[in-house]
């Protein structure tokens, strides 16, 4: 551990018991495809019984009409977060009418691209903006990529923690700037060490042949419908999953929030010739918001993002510029197909410890050379992470993945212990929920579990998925369908209470009413709405 990590941990240990967990926030966004009883993509519209995809705060859609997105409220403890996610799943199954939620990150059976429905959000200006943005994504990347699913983990430390660090370190920045730059420092460390998450939690070592749609590849054949790499951990996070050729080098290693905002601001204003050839309209219909490298900030496919809760209609860059970083969003986590919720409680406990470590550990500025090294380590791990003796690069020298991973776990252990002390202080205050820890020191126990995965690659989710797919005749589709059916039965066997069901039904009906009201009173025409939307980034960041 660095001196800074030791010093900061000691300082936070003097805070009021439970502060890190009672005031910090966590949240989960889970994407999941709707499929039919045969595992085919559900081509039905987003179910009205789930409410409006535009205005329901907990159940919406992502890129495709068939791609559900469940969003938990921000909570202080992961058990509450997963309990809320469990309730959302159980409500959804009560209203799906026989459809299933896919258990996988990577889609299996896909129809022709033309049949994959783009998410629809109604006729309001903001609803049409979201739809046109997705039309642009279909043009730029193809619809198959829109069907990839993942887990996003949102994380923030308490304001009191940042204030204590700022005071102890005699920082000259304002509270807002200190907090923002501290989150950027967390992000720098995340890029240094996120290969470890891919090894420990990657769960997509296989791909459907249909997904590649004839693209060249160097994968091995497992069966007629499934391709794989023998030591891969997360093909979802490889260049075979999310493809962003136009985004290469878009946001170089950034060392300040200003660096990040300027890079994104340039990207959403910089024309890109191949997109310009497509234009923004076809036969009078909008087909993309603009012809720039990025239509909007969210098109940048980062593994982690600095975030700020935005106001209605506000752009992400506007919010960051005005109010600074509020939390970070981890975006590289695969869905765990063995878990009904897509993520295990022990995984969230480790993520909290890992992110706390990244926040407190020394985080020197990142050079271009180190940025390339980080990309190399991440890319090598997602494709070859379980290869015996695999070597990564650390400050220009080779180091074994296993050796480095064990070193990191030793350093993260101190952050896990501090979180366990907080957990113990809050144990008597925890609310009753369905998802419970089995330990009084869940963060430390998660490290014990994951240390075993570093010592034996066969214990990793990716190895277990590959073994399960082989047991299903080498077919990812067969394994995925069976797991989806098992999870569906588990949720349907635990129906919500009358009160819980009424809560979600009311949320759905209120969202439909809100969307209808938005559509009743449009202000101006849509062309002007887009022009005004585009101009706001120029005004905020000075072009």
Three-class DSSP labels, 267-291: HCCCECHHHHHHCCEECCEECCCCC
Q: Model confidence over 144-180: pLDDT tens digits?
A: 988 999 999 999 999 999 999 999 999 999 999 999 9
Supply 219's token pair.
């994968």
If one counts every other C-beta atom within 10 angstroms of the C-beta of residue 205, the result is 31
If one counts every other C-beta atom within 10 angstroms of the C-beta of residue 74, the result is 19
Separation CA 513–CA 519 (nearest Å): 10
* Phi/psi at 68 (5° precision): -70, 150
CB 113 within 8 A of CB 69: no
Q: Model confidence over 362-377: pLDDT tens digits?
A: 999 999 999 999 999 9
CB 87 within 8 A of CB 502: no
Separation CA 329–CA 28 (nearest Å): 9
How far from chain centre, in Å, is Cα 404? 25
Pairing state between β 151-156 and 100-101: unpaired
Where does 22-99 show beta strands of DSSP type E? 25-35, 59-61, 67-71
- 296: Cβ–Cβ under 8 A, 6 or more apart, which residues? 133, 268, 289, 315, 316
Separation CA 243–CA 228 (nearest Å): 18
Let me know the angle formed at the C-alpha of 296 by 292 and 300, rounded to the nearest 5 degrees.
90
Strand partners, 152: 29
Element (H, E) at 79: helix 78-95
Residue 152, pLDDT score: 98
If one counts every other C-beta atom within 10 angstroms of the C-beta of residue 311, the result is 11
DSSP string, 362-373: --PPPPHHHHHH
Cα distances (angstroms) measured from residue 152 to each of 72, 149, 302, 434: 11, 10, 11, 21
- The model's pTM: 0.96
Cα distances (angstroms) measured from residue 449 to each of 201, 223, 408, 442, 542: 12, 32, 14, 10, 49
Residues in the chain: 543
Residue 543, pLDDT score: 45
CB 229 within 8 A of CB 255: no
CB 324 within 8 A of CB 308: yes
Element (H, E) at 220: strand 220-223
> Long-range CB contacts (< 8 A, 24+ apart) of 375-379?
377/195, 378/191, 378/194, 378/195, 378/198, 378/237, 378/303, 379/238, 379/239
Supply 499's token pair.
């009160």
Residue 311, pLDDT score: 86
CB 354 within 8 A of CB 328: no
Cα distances (angstroms) measured from residue 45 to each of 32, 52, 144, 193: 15, 11, 18, 40
Separation CA 529–CA 543 (nearest Å): 19
Pairing state between β 281-282 and 226-228: unpaired
Strand partners, 223: 226
C-alpha radius of gyration, the chain, whole number: 23
Cα distances (angstroms) measured from residue 229 to each of 80, 138, 195, 332: 37, 27, 17, 19
Residue 74, pLDDT score: 96
Where does 50-149 show beta strands of DSSP type E? 59-61, 67-71, 100-101
Of 198, 206, 106, nearest in space to 472 by CA: 206
Strand partners, 154: 27, 329
* Phi/psi at 72 (5° precision): -80, 155
- 28: Cβ–Cβ under 8 A, 6 or more apart, which residues? 70, 71, 72, 81, 82, 85, 151, 152, 153, 154, 343, 348
Residue 248, pLDDT score: 67
Residue 212, pLDDT score: 86
Residue spans of the chain under pLDDT 50: 543
Separation CA 401–CA 200 (nearest Å): 11
Helix/strand/coil for 60: strand
Supply 529's token pair.
């709405």
Separation CA 74–CA 55 (nearest Å): 17
Separation CA 124–CA 502 (nearest Å): 27
Dihedral angle sign, alpha carbons of residues 267, 320, 64, 532: negative
CB 370 within 8 A of CB 396: no
| Domains detected in the chain | 3-197+235-451+515-541 (3.30.590.20)
């Amino acid at each position: 551990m660095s001196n800074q990590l030791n010093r900061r941990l000691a300082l936070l240990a003097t805070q009021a018991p439970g502060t890190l967990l009672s005031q910090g926030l966590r949240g989960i966004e889970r994407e999941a495809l709707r499929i039919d009883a045969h595992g085919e993509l559900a081509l039905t519209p987003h179910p009205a019984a789930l409410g409006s995809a535009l205005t329901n705060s907990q159940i919406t859609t992502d890129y495709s009409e068939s791609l559900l997105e469940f969003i938990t409220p921000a909570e202080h403890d992961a058990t509450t977060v997963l309990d809320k996610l469990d309730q959302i799943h159980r409500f959804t199954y009560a209203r799906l009418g026989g459809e299933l939620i896919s258990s996988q990150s990577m889609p299996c059976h896909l129809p022709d691209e033309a049949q994959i429905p783009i998410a629809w959000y109604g006729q309001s200006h903001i609803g049409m903006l979201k739809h046109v943005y997705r039309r642009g994504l279909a043009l730029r990347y193809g619809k198959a990529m829109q069907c990839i699913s993942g887990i996003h983990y949102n994380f923030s430390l308490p304001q009191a923690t940042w204030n204590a660090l700022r005071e102890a370190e005699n920082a000259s920045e304002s509270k807002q700037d200190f907090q923002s730059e501290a989150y950027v420092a967390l992000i720098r460390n995340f890029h240094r060490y996120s290969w470890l998450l891919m090894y420990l939690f990657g769960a997509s070592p296989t791909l459907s042949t249909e997904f590649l749609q004839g693209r060249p590849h160097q994968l091995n054949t497992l069966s007629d419908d499934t391709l794989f790499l023998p030591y891969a951990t997360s093909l979802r996070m490889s260049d075979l999953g999310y493809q962003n050729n136009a985004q290469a080098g878009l946001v170089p290693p950034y060392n300040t929030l200003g660096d990040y905002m300027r890079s994104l601001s340039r990207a959403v204003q910089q024309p890109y010739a191949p997109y310009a050839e497509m234009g923004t309209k076809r036969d009078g219909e909008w087909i993309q918001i603009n012809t720039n490298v990025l239509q909007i900030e969210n098109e940048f496919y980062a593994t982690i993002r600095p975030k700020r809760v935005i106001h209605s209609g506000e752009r992400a860059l506007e919010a960051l510029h005005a109010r600074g970083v509020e939390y970070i969003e981890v975006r590289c986590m695969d869905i765990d197909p063995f878990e009904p919720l897509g993520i295990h409680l022990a995984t969230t406990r480790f993520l909290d410890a890992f992110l706390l470590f990244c926040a407190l550990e020394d985080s020197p500025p990142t050079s271009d050379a180190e940025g390339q090294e980080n990309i190399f380590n991440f890319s090598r791990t997602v494709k070859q992470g379980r290869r015996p003796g695999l070597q990564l690069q650390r400050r220009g020298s080779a180091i074994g993945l296993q050796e480095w991973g064990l070193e990191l776990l030793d350093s993260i252990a101190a952050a896990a212990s501090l979180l366990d002390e907080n957990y113990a202080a809050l144990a008597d205050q925890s609310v009753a929920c369905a998802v419970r820890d089995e330990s009084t020191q869940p963060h430390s126990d998660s490290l014990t579990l994951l240390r075993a995965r570093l010592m034996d690659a066969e214990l990793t989710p990716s190895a277990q998925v590959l073994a399960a797919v082989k047991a299903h005749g080498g077919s990812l589709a067969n394994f995925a369908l069976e797991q989806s059916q098992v999870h569906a039965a588990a949720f349907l066997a635990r129906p919500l209470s009358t009160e819980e069901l009424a809560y979600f039904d009311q949320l759905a009906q209120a969202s439909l009413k809100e969307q209808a009201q938005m559509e009743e009173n449009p202000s101006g025409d849509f062309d002007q709405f887009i022009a005004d939307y585009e101009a706001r980034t120029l005004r905020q960041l000075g072009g």
